[in-house]
Amino acid sequence: MKTKVLFLFCSLMLLGRFSKAQNVFVKAGTNDTIRVSAINIDGQMMPWIVLNEVKVIDRRNFATKEAYDKYRRLRYNVIKVLPYARFAGQRYRQLERDLATTSDKRKQKAFVKSCDKEIKDLFNREVKNLSISQGEILIKLIDRETGNSSYDLVKDLKGNVSAFVMQSVARIFGHDLKNKYDVDEERDIENIIRSTGYYSYQ
């Protein structure tokens, strides 16, 4: 009995000490402040904190399963060709920077040839295996990335004859290198691209 009373007494003492220790621990000191930025609004200082971007995306409802499947195919195709369009855009901008560094026609020709080889290597390695639908999307996205249609890019880099030949070949496969990207007309594609967190260099 005495042991139980002693144990209970000791427990209460420890609990009391623990409570006091907790109170001391959470007690704010004179220098315990959180530094934040502030702005003066009508003579009153208002603190403000920069938060991470919050994206609010509405859940899209589809009228039919066929419409949903069509959207899923479009999303798959856009995500598949987007890296190629980005590469084309980056390479074209690099070429423009390179051409601006010199007025030497021979060096400029070498820059164009190097760019042409890189794009051809990409085409021979990967792009040639794209479906017709993916090719159409790629043509539009290249315009989105560069601000120029694929036809204009070929004409600038290789001349009118090469552009005409490339356009003729593209027509055989159901493509049009003169296709332009219209944000309003391509709302689904634009939303898919933005949902990936990528916007544009334009």
**What pLDDT, on a 0 to 100 scale, did the predictor assign at position 13?**
53
Provide the sign of the torsion angle of the four alpha carbons 109, 114, 118, 123, taken in this order. positive
Residue 98 is classified by DSSP as H
Expressed in percent and rounded to 5, the helix, strand and coil fractions of the chain are 65, 5, 30
DSSP 8-state secondary structure symbol assigned to residue 58: P
pLDDT class of 76 with cuts at 50, 70, 90: very high
Per-residue pLDDT of 132-172, as tens digits, reads 888 888 888 888 888 777 777 777 766 777 677 777 766 77
pLDDT score recorded for residue 52: 81
| Among the listed residues 91, 196, 83, the one whose alpha carbon sits nearest the alpha carbon of residue 137 | 83
At residue 6, what is the residue type? L
Task: Tell me the sheet residues that pair with 97.
Answer: none
What is the model's pTM?
Answer: 0.61
- Sequence ranges of the domains in the chain: 66-195
